[in-house]
Structure 1
């Protein structure tokens, strides 16, 4: 297996499976080396193919619809973005021993940034702001809605239930206070824009400390630009957040909603992955603490 299973309904995926799929559907690549990619990703399994490609297979049925979405939209969005994004090279079809479509992309070089160990956090903050601004400015056209494009208040019931489930694991009073503060922010008054909606460390690649690529567009779609503020708490230290916020031009309401999105997503991740994905769980704990600290400072 490529990694420990995280979901009850997760498919069995390993190197022999990838080799069989390639031999049947892309024989021109069948003789290339295939190696599992060490990743904390939760929706897809990845295998490096030769030197310059990667095979990406949904782990669960819920990620299947992202295959067609990425193949359709990433080539259209890429020319307007300042850093590399995955370039589809082939779209696989379901097979006897694998039930869903899958993808071959070009390999993107870089390393995942490590929270707390950024080489140039203020420069990276500026890079992230440039990417977010460029994405939000792309003509929405007939883009699909992001499942994270709904108003923040639609997550109220599930977020409160998640906080209750984490009683004894986190400071639940602080979490509820931070969540309620975010809910008080005015809703986004403008039209929906393109959002990545999952700008976490694992979906970013850096080279010499600077942003080189953004990957995993499974949450891509149209929605409130505040969702893309989450990277400020997921990755950036407090003294670099101002650089990011100023560069993206986030007003108080957008920033507050972004903080609420970061908190809600992190709470869900901590509850779900606490036992199965220690990397994701550690990042989620970090986000929850960063939001608590910033909220306490804001309220002081």
Structure 2
């Protein structure tokens, strides 16, 4: 299995008992809240800390820089956001056998949109949230090695995965339409490249967007944020909701920014294809299902 679709193994020190000891030692005023359920993302593990907070710990050495970037940039950028997102309330140091920095963040309630997809009527709210995120990025903003790159750099992997996914149906009998997928991809490659770098979440898929019974509930996990083409996050919206919702998100975003034209749409659809063919190959069933839903929303696959 390709390493970029299989989560890395977490450091063995990350346990409930370790987190209890870390909080007791370094943040004793929080101990009475109690350490609760564990949630593992790609880069960080989180443990509930009472009702209002969570302890966030990098799972690997490579993920430390993502937490550090999040701690540095999110407080500077989030002042004008009116959608729910985690806020940092405390920082911790290596100890108790855990080798890296860690943090306490506010807990944002909701189900992730990979398990409870957003409804189409959530599209406009998503578009408005991305307008707030997409402010001009400075020269020292992080460069994301997967999402800040030219479209052409994605080409071999996308074509390989389209071909691979065409060999077997998806979990609900979805089938890849190779001709449609490659038409989308060729249009993305032919589109004029962007000329504006904006702050981007850069990992805006269903595991990082929250749902309240299908309504937009907020955005979490900002560790991959970077300077990107503004079309990147709009492409990821295909993993969140049906096609009508994607169209509504793009329309609202375009209305508020003036950024959406045919080249923007072609790039966004190319980004969507690139992301969805990757997550559709995940060994995690909920992620696989999200990838195939996104391919259907994109028109690159059809249902049985």
Q: TM-score range by the shorter chain?
A: 0.7 to 0.9
Note the alpha carbon deviations across 1:215-259, whole angstroms, 9 max, x for none.
111220111001011243112212223221211112121121111
Confirm whether residue 186 of structure 1 aligns to residue 192 of structure 2.
Answer: yes
Confirm whether residue 263 of structure 1 aligns to residue 270 of structure 2.
Answer: no
**Structure 1, 173-182 or 19-28: larger mean CA deviation:** 173-182
Aligned to 1:68: 68
Aligned mates of 2:24, 2:139 — CA distance in 1: 38
Aligned to 1:3: none
Change in CA separation of 1:96 and 1:199 when aligned onto 2, cut-off 3 Å: same
Aligned to 2:37: 36
Aligned mates of 2:49, 2:231 — CA distance in 1: 36
TM-score normalised to structure 2 length: 0.82
Note the alpha carbon deviations across 1:255-291, whole angstroms, 9 max, x for none.
21111112112222233x22xx211111112222332
Within a 5 Å distance, the mapping from 1:1-300 to structure 2 comes to: 7=7, 9-12=9-12, 13-38=14-39, 41-95=41-95, 97-113=97-113, 118=118, 121-122=120-121, 124-137=122-135, 140=138, 142-147=140-145, 148-166=147-165, 168-169=167-168, 171=176, 173-174=178-179, 175-188=181-194, 190-207=195-212, 209-249=214-254, 250-271=260-281, 273-274=282-283, 277-293=284-300
Aligned mates of 2:166, 2:126 — CA distance in 1: 34
Contact 1:113 1:205 (C-alpha < 8 Å) held by counterparts: yes
Note the alpha carbon deviations across 1:24-52, whole angstroms, 9 max, x for none.
3222223431112456x322211100121
Aligned mates of 2:109, 2:18 — CA distance in 1: 25
Aligned mates of 1:69, 1:166 — CA distance in 2: 34
Aligned mates of 2:116, 2:25 — CA distance in 1: 44
TM-score normalised to structure 1 length: 0.83
Note the alpha carbon deviations across 1:75-133, whole angstroms, 9 max, x for none.
11111222122111122222352222222101122333467864x522x1111111111
Q: Per the alignment, in what secondary structure is the counterpart of residue 137 of structure 1?
A: coil
Q: Where do 5+ consecutive residues of structure 1 fail to align? A: 1-5, 296-300
Contact 1:116 1:237 (C-alpha < 8 Å) held by counterparts: no
Q: Per the alignment, in what secondary structure is the counterpart of residue 245 of structure 2?
A: helix
**Structure 1, 200-209 or 217-226: larger mean CA deviation:** 200-209
Aligned to 2:257: none
Q: CA deviation at 1:18?
A: 1.2
Contact 2:184 2:266 (C-alpha < 8 Å) held by counterparts: no
Q: Where do 5+ consecutive residues of structure 2 fail to align? A: 1-5, 170-175, 255-259
